[in-house]
Amino acid sequence: MEHKQLKVFPKSFLWGSASAAYQVEGAWDTDGKGPSVWDNFVRIPGKTFAGTNGDIAVDHYHQYPQDVALMSELGLSAYRFSVAWSRIYPLGNGEINQAGLDFYDRLINELVEKGIEPIVTLYHWDIPQALQDQYGGWESRQIVDDFVRYAKTLFVHFSDRVKYWVTMNEQNVFISHGYKTAMHPPGVRDEKRMYQANHHANLANAAAIVAFRSLGCPGKIGPSFAYGPNYSIDANPENVLAAENAEAFDAHFWMDVYARGEYPPQVWQWLVDNHLAPDVYPEDAILLKQGIPDFMGVNYYRTMTNAYNPLDGVGIEQMNTTGKKGTAQESGLPGVYKHVRNPHLQRTNWDWDIDATGLRIGLRRIASRYQLPVMVTENGLGEYDTLTDDLQINDDYRIDYLNEHALAVQQAISDGVEVLGYCTWSFTDLLSWLNGYQKRYGFVYVDRDENSAKSLTRYKKKSFYWYQEVIRSHGATL
């Protein structure tokens, strides 16, 4: 659909940028913080690229005043960050650690003072290790009560200043990598356990939303979903069916539960047939229906292209975590779909398809399937950056990527989608969970690498000035 003229971004539209506690904070055992599963997982040899960890990360815990000053200089209207659960409850469900609350108080106050809207993610993958040890973390229903207690603590403490809340970041990613590919903690390969853990995460998400409303907190709350809209490789009906399967298994399976309180029937049938269906109690269905979010958060990086995959076809993915282009392998769900190379799209050095139109398509699909406003809670390009001798970072490739994706958001708005805001990933460079520090996303370059924390000096990239203009013009320069 071509528009003669695009709609302008709504007045209240948030121009943001995002991060996650483990990827930026460092200070992993400072001021009473308990260990999270990631603090331990990164110490298992071979789990992360070049053995990188977030012990120091980019030291945001100590350098947040400088980082917020840079956000203010850029002109951000929102900053999305996550709270480390084990800073607030070092054991997950025991005593509160006041120093943890104090840190986020300082950060939030600094943001509010600078006119930057805080968007707070309750959970970005760093479950307290103590809960993993006590009852197996997400595998136990006990997690629901503990997650709600933690969420309520944050709601009560911060909702005078925080109006946007993200319950969970990319449940589809932390559950699949935690229990299927074993690339994230707890590093398990067991699909039965995966679907049960996933069901508990669904319950925790819904219960936190219900708690938010029962406390009468002002503002909006919703999950952030990692959505890679699915295409068919061609018009062969077998491939089209595979793409529909991929959409059902990789997107509706999560978003239908969030937005409709129901599992999609074809996936549920497959789970039953394969003896993988989780235990669902009658009261679960009621809770899931009560916990419908105010918006759907979308983390968008790429689309997925699909083809028929026979029962003895390809399975679990081999990810490219080295940045050596062309090393990703075909993957899929045997008998259901496989992801294949899209000949129409360029790829990054980490083999992610670059597809701005896919963002527009994804936003439209969500709006029409769920009738919910959408917030783009992450979008960005992970690439190598070079600090030149005269201390410049000329990241034109990132500017191109972000410009066309922000434009795709404006096109989706012009198509009739309600979009609350756009958060790039990320503000400063940060730790990529599996890809170390060489896969960079930020507007602000941080002087550190896999081998050493170096000076941690911040340098503004060319994209910093590009986004500054976009925000200053409220999108007119796109």
DSSP-H helix ranges across 120-252: 129-135, 142-158, 171-179, 191-214, 237-247
Least Å distance between CB 279 and ligand BG6?
28
Furthest-apart CA pair in the chain: how many Å?
A: 64
DSSP state of 138: G
CB of 52 to ligand BG6, least distance (A): 11
Q: In this chain, which of 439, 458, 460, 461 binds ligand BG6, going by CB under 6 A?
A: 439
Nearer to ligand BG6, 87 or 124 (CB): 124
Closer to ligand BG6 by Cβ: residue 303 or 435: 435
Min dist CB 89 to ligand BG6, Å, is: 22
Binding track over 286-305 against ligand BG6, x by CB under 6 A:
-------------x------
Which residues, numbered 175-234, are part of the site for ligand BG6 (CB under 6 A)? 226
170: left (phi over 0), alpha (psi -120 to 50) or beta: left
Residue in 67, 146, 170, 429 binding ligand BG6, rule: CB under 6 A: 170
Stretch that binds ligand BG6, among 61-69, 83-91, 169-177, 310-318 (CB under 6 A): 169-177
Whether 170 sits among the annotated catalytic residues: the reply is yes
Q: Of 20, 42, 131, 251, which one interacts with ligand BG6 (CB under 6 A)?
A: 20
| Site map 99..138 versus ligand BG6, x via CB under 6 A | ----------------------------------------
- Contact set for ligand BG6, span 310-339 (CB under 6 A): none
By the 8 A CB rule, do 133 and 143 touch? no
Q: Where are the beta strands (DSSP E) in 233-346?
A: 296-300, 304-307, 331-333, 337-340
Task: Report if residue 429 touches ligand BG6, rule: CB under 6 A.
Answer: no
**25 is a site residue for ligand BG6 (CB under 6 A):** no
Per-residue DSSP letters for 35-62? Answer: PBHHHHHTTSTTSSGGG--SSSTT-HHH
Which residue's Cβ lies closest to ligand BG6?
A: 432
Count of positions on this chain that bind ligand BG6 (CB under 6 A): 15
Residue 267 vs residues 229, 308, 341, 474: alpha-carbon distances, Å: 17, 17, 25, 42
Q: Which amino acid is at 394?
A: N
Q: Of the residues 110, 117, 170, 247, which is catalytic? A: 170
- Single-letter code of the amino acid located at 94: G
Q: What Cα–Cα distance (Å) separates residue 466 from each residue in 182, 401, 469?
A: 38, 12, 5
| Number of neighbours of residue 117 by Cβ within 10 angstroms | 20
Q: Answer whether 199's CB lies under 8 Å from 279's CB.
A: yes
Cβ atoms < 10 Å from Cβ of 44 = 11
CB of 18 to ligand BG6, least distance (A): 8
Instruction: Name the one range near ligand BG6 by CB under 6 A: 102-110, 140-148, 389-397, 433-441.
Output: 433-441
- Comparing C-alpha atoms, which of 383, 378, 380, 381 is closest to residue 439? 383
- In whole angstroms, the minimum distance from the beta carbon of 392 to ligand BG6 comes to 24
Is there binding between residue 432 and ligand BG6 (CB under 6 A)? yes
Query: CA–CA separation, 297 vs 172, rounded Å?
Result: 13
Nearest in space to 250 (alpha carbons), one of 339, 374, 372, 356: 339
Catalytic residue among 25, 110, 139, 378: 378
| 2 annotated active-site | no
Provide, rounded to whole angstroms, the least separation between the CB of residue 19 and ligand BG6: 8
d(CA 67, CA 58): 10
Nearer to ligand BG6, 196 or 299 (CB): 299
* H or E stretch at 117: strand 117-123
DSSP three-state, residue 15: strand
User: Which member of 164, 425, 437, 466 binds ligand BG6 (CB under 6 A)?
Assistant: 425
How far apart are CB 169 and ligand BG6 at their closest, in Å?
A: 5
Choosing from 39, 110, 355, 378, the residue that interacts with ligand BG6 (CB under 6 A) is 378
Q: Is 230 helix (H, G, I), strand (E, B) or coil?
A: strand
Q: Which range binds ligand BG6 by CB under 6 A, 85-93, 363-371, 428-436, 462-470?
A: 428-436
**Smallest gap, in angstroms, from Cβ of residue 80 to ligand BG6?**
10
Q: Does 173 contact ligand BG6 by CB under 6 A? A: yes
Residue 433 in the binding site for ligand BG6 (CB under 6 A): yes
Report d(CA 422, CA 413) in Å as an integer. 12
Which residues are catalytic, by number? 170, 378
Binding site for ligand BG6 (CB under 6 A): 20, 23, 169-170, 173, 226, 299, 378, 382, 425, 432-435, 439
